[in-house]
Structure 1
């Protein structure tokens, strides 16, 4: 009997391999030598979310794909293309629920499930319309070392309390519910400042009055999980803002990430999901603030 494919284990093993090689997928799009940064897109143009974003970043960075678009074999054929012979597919995850009758109560209950399926990047496919071969467009801004009023407004509209002192530390203080940042002038560039602020703002979303993520444990694994959530979430936020984050400070957490990943194959899934919820919270809050203005 053939061994059943374990999509969770496959994804976790891929992430571990990338971290051990020094190239986590959320870092890869900003190396400057790989494909342009941007969210991976379905053939319809809809962005992938959560763990699928990380996995497709990993493949795109490793293979140097410039296109953000991904197709199933059938979708490629329907669009007039053909996957080149010998090309290897990437694994992504489909989430859904099924309804079943609870034997004890007789009520219909929804049971979540996941399954893996295969996709190919547009760069692996011949004959697609020209627009699918264009690199992801990421707006850039020459920030220098000065504050950027547009980015300042973005973070101000989240509702987070941000205090600035001469103290050379960036952190979120859960008890006070305050983000502390050093002056922007002390950073090498403004991009690094806002990438750091994005990281701390993701932590801020975990407060008990918001997404209530920080009260779920204080052991080493919980700490590693929260830091991974903040790193992934900050990366996603930076893409939205057109920033190029500096992941140099992530090294201090890598050992904890690896230990937690190897101990629980679901770890990266829950971290990616929590990061997506945090980014959704920030952007939804922006929409609410704009509507109320």
Structure 2
């Protein structure tokens, strides 16, 4: 990966202690950025810092702990970041979760929707003024081609409370939410020097999906030999975070570092606005 020169830039990455988040951190640190890794576990976080420094000895790194299933923890993450850094050039919303059984967060939200969408909606809005003040700056949202399994029907039941629970369907809805959020955010960023884009990283061989149980976890293990490496999966994230080629480009969806067409549902301005209103009500920001 050969991103642009990131000297003097500050990047915050969620879900950065393993997988494509870790490889994104490595690439951006190699390009000269100060990279703040966010993760839930202190031990894994410190191991991630050591791993990046192993290959990038002069890396400028920091670790902030946050549990994205908790909105209070997300608020603390935003507060901690702003207390340490006067600028934010790239917010890479990378953390993701898939479950095959319905679980509820301490806030009472369905866990996949809360982690994959609500946490990033809240974090982005809490850091938005800093992003604007640091412009030109970028928000990069890691979605998935799995968004094609989602439908706008989820907007009537975002907590997946009705009917039978399908982990893959709920995951697809959360990835659809990532793109709709990017769409709604880009609209609100018009006239600023902040851009927002989303991406599909590829089918990546990481620990993702291994938190699930039963058949899905078994399927992930079987498919692992045919998947991209974490480094390969990070390429489009790094491209959108650092490449001068996408300067000023916003509201786009990328695959393999190229603009791609998202699903029809993901192109819905009405859906984006409905999701924004619901998310604002649930998190108390973005109104």
Greater RCO (CA < 8 Å, at least 6 residues apart): 2
The two structures have a TM-score, normalised by structure 2, of 0.28
The two structures have a TM-score, normalised by structure 1, of 0.28
